[in-house]
């Protein structure tokens, strides 16, 4: 069973970060061109949100399943195998992990249109995974 104190602390931070990013929905390319601080806020906020989500899922896998993993995509496979998430959810999580890697390692060539699309259209994905985690942990 996951350590609920760890999960609850991460959930609180996750909700705060998600709410903060929601303030920037409807952001445009022009907004970012005018305000480089905004780009930094969105990149860092999204990075932290994705990392926190992946850390919570890794904690669940480590606590409840005796399976080895080397990459976040492995965790997602384990979660599908144990019917915690669907194949469709796995694809979304794999995209998130890939984008997290781009934010971390390829930030100089980041396509801001992808970032804008996530902020404007995909934050509901994070709410969905939060619900999955809360239901799994019975919170």
On whether the CB atoms of residues 84 and 136 are closer than 8 A, the answer is yes
Q: What Rg do the C-alpha atoms of the chain give, in angstroms?
A: 15
On whether the CB atoms of residues 43 and 25 are closer than 8 A, the answer is no
* Mean pLDDT of all residues in 116-132: 97
| pLDDT the model gives residue 67 | 84
On whether the CB atoms of residues 64 and 57 are closer than 8 A, the answer is no
Q: Mind listing the pLDDT tens digit for each residue in 62-117?
A: 999 988 889 989 999 999 999 999 999 999 999 999 999 999 987 767 889 999 99
The angle that helices 36-64 and 123-137 make with each other, rounded to 10 degrees, is 30
| pLDDT the model gives residue 60 | 95
| pLDDT the model gives residue 23 | 97
Three-state SS for 100? Answer: helix
* Mean pLDDT of all residues in 1-7: 92
- Confidence band (pLDDT; 50, 70, 90) for 134? very high
| pLDDT the model gives residue 105 | 87
| pLDDT the model gives residue 106 | 77
| pLDDT the model gives residue 17 | 97
| pLDDT the model gives residue 92 | 97
pTM for the whole structure: 0.93
Structural domain spans, the chain: 4-137
- Architecture (CATH level 2) of domain 4-137: Up-down Bundle (1.20)
Q: Mind listing the pLDDT tens digit for each residue in 28-43?
A: 999 999 999 999 999 9
């Amino acid at each position: 069973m996951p350590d609920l104190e760890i999960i609850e602390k991460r959930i609180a931070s996750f909700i705060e970060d998600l709410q903060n990013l929601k303030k920037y929905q409807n952001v445009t390319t022009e907004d970012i061109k005018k305000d480089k601080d905004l780009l930094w806020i969105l990149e860092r906020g999204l990075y932290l949100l994705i990392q926190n989500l992946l850390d919570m899922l890794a904690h669940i896998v480590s606590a409840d399943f005796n399976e080895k993993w080397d990459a976040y995509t492995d965790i997602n496979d384990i979660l599908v195998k144990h019917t915690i998430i669907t194949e469709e959810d796995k694809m979304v999580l794999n995209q998130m992990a890939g984008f997290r890697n781009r934010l971390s390692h390829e930030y100089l060539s980041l396509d801001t249109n992808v970032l804008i699309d996530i902020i404007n259209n995909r934050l509901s994905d994070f709410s969905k995974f939060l619900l999955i985690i809360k239901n799994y942990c019975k919170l």
